[in-house]
């Protein structure tokens, strides 16, 4: 039987701010309750690798803060902003939900590839 461990709320929820999207490559910043401020990313692969690293270490304590991701989103104009929730990581992939905050639309995904296809559909409009 696998050992179950408590994971604080928000450790698998990310706020992704896409600043640019060209030829399938995005740049921007992302946030998580486990660290203060934003972390930049200069490519889609870098974003995925940084998130995977945080998911791999998700049993570490959170940053000492009571904020939640909805509080981090202030409705600002500018970059396209998504809330990415990872429910499960299995077979080196993710399953979860992506919410486009400006349009209040959400889509579920069953793999990282499906997540990338959804992001491409939205960002290519």
Domain ranges of the chain: 13-123
d(CA 107, CA 84): 10
Which residues share a beta bridge with 89?
94
Report the pLDDT averaged over residues 1-28: 74
Q: What is the pLDDT of residues 32-59, one digit of tens each?
A: 888 778 999 999 999 999 998 888 876 5
The per-residue pLDDT for 10 is 58
**Beta-sheet pairing, 80-90 with 39-41:** unpaired
Question: How large is the greatest C-alpha to C-alpha distance in the chain, in angstroms?
Answer: 48
pLDDT, one tens digit per residue, over 75-110 is 555 678 999 999 888 777 899 999 999 899 999 999
Indicate the pTM of the whole model. 0.73
Q: What is the pLDDT of residue 2?
A: 45
Q: Average pLDDT of 54-78?
A: 52
pLDDT of residue 64: 38
Centroid of chain to Cα 12 = 8
In whole angstroms, give the CA distance from residue 83 to residue 18: 11
């Amino acid at each position: 039987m696998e050992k179950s461990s408590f994971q604080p709320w928000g450790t698998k929820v990310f706020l992704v701010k896409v600043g640019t999207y060209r030829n399938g490559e995005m740049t921007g910043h992302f946030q998580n309750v486990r660290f203060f401020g934003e972390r930049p990313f200069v490519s889609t692969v870098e974003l995925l690798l940084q998130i995977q690293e945080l998911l791999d270490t998700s049993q570490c304590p959170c940053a000492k803060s009571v904020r939640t991701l909805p509080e981090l989103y202030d409705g600002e104009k500018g970059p396209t902003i998504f809330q990415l929730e990872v429910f499960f990581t299995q077979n080196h992939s993710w399953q979860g939900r992506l919410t486009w905050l400006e349009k209040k639309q959400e889509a579920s995904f069953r793999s990282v590839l499906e997540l990338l296809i959804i992001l491409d559909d939205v960002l290519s409009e």
